[in-house]
Amino acid sequence: MLRPPALSLLAALALLAAPAAQAAEGVVRKLQPAQAKVTLAHGEIKELGMPAMTMAYRARPPSLLDGLAVGDRVEFTAEKVDGQYVVTAIRKKR
């Protein structure tokens, strides 16, 4: 099926703009709210090309870190933004 070129271009741009976000599970290892940073031990995140590891992420917005404590088991969503790994959603697991 043929689509108008303008629509195809828009679709291509939307794909390019879509962040490679992927939900993952982890454990909070360190919190640095003043720097909007959280260190997470996480399992493999295939979409980001990461094996299981412990690493620091920037939190965007920083208020995502409110209420979290070291040792919490969490589900989070990470994206690579401008070469930096950013957590864009995070919540404590029960």
- Interface positions with Cu ion (CB under 5 A): 50, 53, 55
Q: Which is nearer to Cu ion, 36 or 50 (CB)?
A: 50
Phi, psi of 5 (to 5 degrees): -55, -40
CB 57 to Cu ion: min, Å: 8
Residue 9 region, left (φ>0) first, then alpha (ψ -120 to 50), else beta?
Answer: alpha
Q: Is residue 80 within 8 Å of 50, Cβ to Cβ?
A: no
Q: Which is nearer to Cu ion, 55 or 89 (CB)?
A: 55
Residue 84 CA, distance from chain mean position: 10
Q: Which is nearer to Cu ion, 42 or 65 (CB)?
A: 42
CB 71 to Cu ion: min, Å: 18
